[in-house]
Amino acid sequence: MASVLSLAATVHQRVADALSAALPEAGSADPLLRRSDRADFQANGMLALAKQLKGNPRELAAKVVAHLPVAATSADPDPVIADIEVSGPGFLNITIADSAITATLAARAADDRLGVPFAQAPGTTVIDYAQPNVAKEMHVGHLRSAVIGDAVVRILEFAGEQVIRRHHIGDWGTQFGMLIQYLIEHPHELDHKDASSGEEAMSNLNRLYKAARVLFDSDAEFKERSRRRVVDLQAGDEETIALWRKFVDESKIYFYSVFDKLDIEIHDPDVVGESGYNDMLAETCRLLEESGVAVRSEGALCVFFDDIKGPEGNPVPLIVQKSDGGFGYAATDLSAIRDRVQHLKADTLLYVVDARQSLHFKMVFETARRIGWLNDQVHAAQLAFGTVLGKDGKPFKTRAGETVRLEDLLDEATERAAAVVREKSEKKLSLTEEDILERGAQVGVGAVKYADLSTSASRDYKFDLDQMVSLNGDTSVYLQYAYARIKSILRLAREDQRPLAHPELPLAPAERALGLHLDQFGETLREVATGYEPHKLAGYLYQLASLYTTFYDQCPVLKAEGGPSQVENRLFLCDITARTLGQGMSLLGIRTPERL
């Protein structure tokens, strides 16, 4: 079905047409329409226009009003605008007709996408997110990249963008010389247990890593053998590469188990780690040096920037290749840009990476622009995120001062949420223990995700599980219970089909407020997709749930005072609210159980 024009877009067009008819000398002036507390919408364009035309803004506004019908005519039997008045220095306060609100929502309800249009000119975006390190446990620091990245992927795909996922895992470097050498000398360390579960895989890796580190720090000969093993790894020695692959495969079992708990899908072809660009590194350096973008400085290949200085005012270069011939992170990241632009044909590269790496990516992107891999048609951006803090406002740690394991955090969230569901079930709903645990996982993980996504990515936020799983306030649990409440009402109504809208009925204030907000869903998603701002979708959904709560309190549904037609119309509002909540939460990667 075709997308449905929002009420805001419809009113904007009608006011713009009236403005052109009343004041042709103004050309195609923008009426500057926005939502208003004084009416449904307010047009403020008359003020700027009056300066341009050297006229009185109230008089100009009155001329525009004369060209806006607010009553039914043969040409317009169902007017969108119910009332319009000039206020203040020339504002147009516009009230929408009840029938237009209901009819527009009915048109949205007929579409599985709720009338949300696809992007006008979708492109191809490669998004780099969820980047754990091989042979290391995932901790709370890995949470935001995964959660924010997954939500942005869902939102962009819903908008019609072709999205290519890339998980740039840390699977290369000097530590693998130590690990591989230890495994060669202790060949059964990863074999004596079948790492069929993520927890067991990580236990094996942890045990081996700790043993290898002790030997590396205490045995000079082992340390030297480990360093020679790094050379073998970089040279592609078959035995070394085969053992390196064992570490990567074992780590993936663990990674995927954690992502599964996060309810995030990770597909193996999308995992292209640092090692995936090894064959491109020398060529990348050659191209940079031959083009003059990079120059040799004390033996290292560097790119310099006039606006980036160190503490003493000296230029801080981007080191692409070290003086000993080794390649730095910049060489890998620049090679990845080459691959993503030239091979994957991306026109947007998006990196969901910690804000503390902003300087690095600023230099990498500028280097890629200088050589032409990025340009006016192909651009890159870092979606930088802040730090997860504890209740004390400091980086989130355990009581012992250690980094919090991501698995432990998710398990505790699930346990807390299951307790809330169990308590609620005992009062109103009889759920089996299996159902409680399943819903506990959906609610607990949803609470963690929502707390992250409801905060602007660039800001730090405090991790407070007590608040996250609360039924009150701006939490995913509040939204999930609003959804479940609506589903309960619809079940009680025993409607076999979706309830029909009745545009002929007048709307109560709470119905109007709910309807106008529902109408903004498509425009909100467009803004969220354009700016990579899932927190704005979270804010929209929280306001939607709050408006529904007011509607539920003030407008009886199954016992509506207006009889069967009003019952059905309010059931219609319930249904489209549930569908909008469900779709919005799904785009954030959060499930909406139908019974809680």
* Tens of pLDDT, residues 544-579: 999 999 999 999 999 999 999 999 999 999 999 999
Bridge-based pairing of strands 91-96 and 41-43 is antiparallel
Tens of pLDDT, residue by residue over 236-269, are 899 999 999 999 998 999 999 999 999 999 999 9
| C-alpha torsion 150→155→157→159, nearest 10 | -170
Q: What percent of the chain has pLDDT over 90?
A: 72
Inter-residue contact 80 to 96 (CB < 8 Å): yes
Sole residue written with tokens 């009150």: 472
User: Does the pLDDT at position 311 exceed 90?
Assistant: no
Take residue 561 and report the two structure tokens written for it.
Answer: 């005072």
User: Does the pLDDT at position 431 exceed 90?
Assistant: no
CA 339 to each of CA 272, 373, 573: distance values in angstroms, whole numbers, following the listed order: 11, 10, 48
Distance CA 281, CA 284 (A): 5
pLDDT at 193: 54
Chain mean pLDDT for the chain:
91
Bridge-based pairing of strands 379-385 and 295-297 is unpaired
Among the listed ranges 17-31, 91-105, 332-346, which one has the minimum average pLDDT value? 17-31
Q: State the average pLDDT over residues 67-81.
A: 70
pLDDT at 51: 86
pLDDT at 26: 78
User: Does the pLDDT at position 2 exceed 70?
Assistant: no
Superfamily for the 7-96 domain: Arginyl tRNA synthetase N-terminal domain (3.30.1360.70)
Which H/E stretch holds residue 379?
A: strand 379-385
Question: For 329, what's the count of Cα atoms within 13 Å in the CB-facing half-sphere?
Answer: 11
pLDDT at 196: 57
DSSP 431: -
Which H/E stretch holds residue 58?
A: helix 57-66
Inter-residue contact 130 to 167 (CB < 8 Å): yes
Q: What percent of the chain has pLDDT over 70?
A: 96
Cα angle at 231 between 353 and 132, to 5 degrees?
Answer: 20
pLDDT at 206: 84
User: Does the pLDDT at position 11 exceed 90?
Assistant: yes
- 79 band by pLDDT with thresholds 50, 70 and 90: confident
Distance CA 489, CA 491 (A): 5
User: Does the pLDDT at position 74 exceed 70?
Assistant: no
Q: What's CA 11's distance to the chain center, in Å?
A: 30
Give a three-class secondary structure readout of 175-236: HHHHHHHHHHHCCCCCCCCCCCCHHHHHHHHHHHHHHHHHHHHHCHHHHHHHHHHHHHHHHC
Q: State the average pLDDT over residues 430-439.
A: 87
Number of other residues whose CB lies within 10 A of the CB of residue 116: 21
Would you tell me the crossing angle of helices 220-235 and 198-218 to the nearest 10 degrees? 120
pLDDT at 272: 97
Q: State the average pLDDT over residues 495-506.
A: 89
Q: What's CA 293's distance to the chain center, in Å?
A: 35
CA 354 to each of CA 79, 332, 454, 563: distance values in angstroms, whole numbers, following the listed order: 50, 18, 17, 56
User: Does the pLDDT at position 77 exceed 80?
Assistant: no
Closest CA to 431 of 484, 364, 357, 362: 484
User: Does the pLDDT at position 429 exceed 70?
Assistant: no
Inter-residue contact 80 to 14 (CB < 8 Å): yes
Tens of pLDDT, residue by residue over 146-163, are 999 999 999 999 999 999
Number of other residues whose CB lies within 10 A of the CB of residue 413: 25
- 28 band by pLDDT with thresholds 50, 70 and 90: confident
Distance CA 475, CA 447 (A): 7
385 beta partners: 354
- 50 band by pLDDT with thresholds 50, 70 and 90: confident
Closest CA to 452 of 396, 529, 523: 396
Distance CA 540, CA 545 (A): 9
Inter-residue contact 514 to 99 (CB < 8 Å): no
Closest CA to 463 of 386, 370, 569, 388: 388
Closest CA to 132 of 260, 240, 258, 233: 258
Q: Which pairs with CB-CB distance under 8 Å and at least 24 residues apart come from 375-382?
A: 377/347, 378/341, 378/346, 378/347, 378/348, 378/349, 379/347, 379/348, 379/349, 380/337, 380/348, 380/349, 380/350, 380/351, 381/348, 381/349, 381/350, 381/351, 381/532, 382/350, 382/351, 382/353, 382/357, 382/358
Closest CA to 524 of 114, 182, 203, 146: 114
Its pTM stands at 0.93
pLDDT at 199: 76
